[in-house]
Amino acid sequence: MKKILFILLMLVSITAFAENDVTKFLGIPVDGFKQDMIQKLKAKGFKYDTTYDRLIGEFNGFDVEIGVVTNNNKVWRVMVADAVASSETDIKIKFNRLVSQFSANKRYMSGSTSDQTIPESEDISYKMLVDKKRFQASFFQLPTDTVALRVALKSHLAGRFTLEQIECPTETEQKEILFESTSYLLDIYSKKSVWFMISEEYGQYRILLYYDNEYNHSDGEDL
């Protein structure tokens, strides 16, 4: 009975953490109903365009268009697109500037172990047209409640290891616990995905920036 109660408490702590720590856009959780999200963005100063179901305003110093995407009536993505197209040279500068901004922001962790900037010599138009290359960069929003994260991690480990193994692990168990902890944390981080890419249309380029709440993303449940 005690073991069952412990498992239930463990599941509650992990679930509670997942429900409260989701991707945010301008401090607004990417979650809930679409109309509520739109109202919160309007409160931030964005104007709603009913014709194209989008919001218009300024973000990070540029005019943008914002789209709110849902899955099963719950918001899972906020897309931010440049309202004004750029040249190939300018979009490369803008892309690299965004990479630098996210990399310098302590609230984010890079989604890649390699440099995500575009080399100055890179021919974007050729690579996209001929090689079908996608220029994109990915980051993860780090959890804001580190205390809750530690509790969730301990609960997760407690479901896989005994208290004795956690407190006094052998060398092998220590490696297993480290691997399990790393895997769990990476999975948590990946649920708060923020990434962007270059979009091309008739020789003009735009940055498309996505704030995704992977907890609400479709996982084939409708198949």
For the chain, the first-to-last Cα distance in angstroms comes to: 37
Q: Tens digits of per-residue pLDDT, 127-165?
A: 999 999 999 999 999 988 778 788 888 888 888 888 788
pLDDT tens digits along 156-196: 888 888 878 888 888 898 889 889 888 888 888 899 999 99
Statement: residue 4 has pLDDT above 90: no
The reported pTM is 0.86
Q: pLDDT for 56-89, tens place per residue?
A: 999 999 999 999 999 999 999 999 999 999 999 9
Q: Residue 112: is it exposed, middle or buried by C-beta count within 10 angstroms (0-12/13-18/19+)?
A: exposed
- CA-nearest of 193, 197, 157, 159 to 178 is 157
Residue of 211, 201, 223 whose CA lies nearest to 86: 201
Average confidence (pLDDT) over 50-55? 96
**Structural tokens at position 22:** 């989701």
Q: Out of 2-16, 20-34, 36-50, pick the least confident.
A: 2-16
Q: Give phi and psi for 180, each to the nearest 5.
A: -65, -40
